[in-house]
């Protein structure tokens, strides 16, 4: 079921049934993803089942960005580390795929996700952490309206080393 719809894409929850469509997308995107993301969690169906377990509790939610006309998956966004109470915050992680990048789908999809997070999910702040050389991701997050808050040295272990990241965020006030 679509949770929010824009002119070209919609967002919906990720589910176990998406494995068949996702596996080739991850396979074709190994090079695109390697430098910027932790390794793909879905080499086998068993890996994917284990990975899906992270969404059982209240801490993480997984979303897909899909074309409205065909339903084809064009990207994904995770809302991770959800903190309730006086924070109402989370950290997002996202990716497109080799055959779907460079078409504006992620900008539209992330915009929908921000609206859903600040609406139905009742969050107040979303954070994104991006390596300084990841120009495509920095351009994307700026287009969606995030602001740069700072710099986190040695923030995440990716592709064999602890990588510096820029910290970007958006709060509900910034979308009002």
Residues found near ligand COA in the complex (CB under 6 A): 32-33, 36-37, 94-96, 101-107, 130, 134, 136-137, 139-140
Q: How far is the CB of 155 from ligand COA (least distance, A)?
A: 11
Please, are residues 9 and 108 in contact by the beta-carbon 8 Å criterion? yes
Q: In the complex, which residue's CB is closest to ligand COA? A: 104
Q: How far is the CB of 60 from ligand COA (least distance, A)?
A: 16
Q: How far is the CB of 80 from ligand COA (least distance, A)?
A: 12
Rounded to whole angstroms, how far apart are CA atoms 148 and 128? Answer: 9
Whichever of 49 and 145 has its CB closer to ligand COA, that residue is 145
Residue the block writes with tokens 């700072």? 150
Whichever of 99 and 175 has its CB closer to ligand COA, that residue is 99
Give the closest residue to 83 by CA, choosing from 110, 111, 43, 123: 123
Rounded to whole angstroms, how far apart are CA atoms 9 and 111? Answer: 10
Whichever of 89 and 95 has its CB closer to ligand COA, that residue is 95
Whichever of 96 and 126 has its CB closer to ligand COA, that residue is 96
Query: Hey, what are 91's tokens?
Result: 């950290």
Residues in the chain: 176
């Amino acid at each position: 079921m679509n949770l929010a719809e824009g002119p070209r894409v919609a967002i919906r929850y990720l589910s176990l049934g998406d494995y068949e469509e996702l596996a080739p997308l991850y396979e074709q995107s190994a090079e695109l993803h390697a430098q910027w993301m932790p390794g793909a969690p879905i080499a086998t169906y068993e890996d994917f089942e284990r990975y899906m377990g992270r969404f059982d509790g209240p801490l993480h939610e997984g979303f897909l960005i899909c074309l409205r006309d065909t339903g084809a998956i064009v990207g994904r966004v995770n809302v991770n580390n959800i903190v309730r109470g006086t924070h109402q915050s989370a950290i997002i992680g996202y990716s497109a795929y080799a055959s779907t990048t460079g078409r504006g789908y992620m900008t539209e999809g992330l915009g929908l996700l921000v609206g859903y997070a600040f609406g139905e999910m009742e969050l107040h702040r979303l954070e994104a952490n991006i390596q300084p050389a990841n120009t495509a991701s920095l351009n994307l997050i700026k287009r969606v309206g995030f602001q740069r808050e700072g710099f986190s040295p040695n923030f995440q272990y990716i592709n064999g080393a602890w990588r510096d990241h820029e910290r970007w965020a958006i709060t509900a006030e910034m979308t009002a």
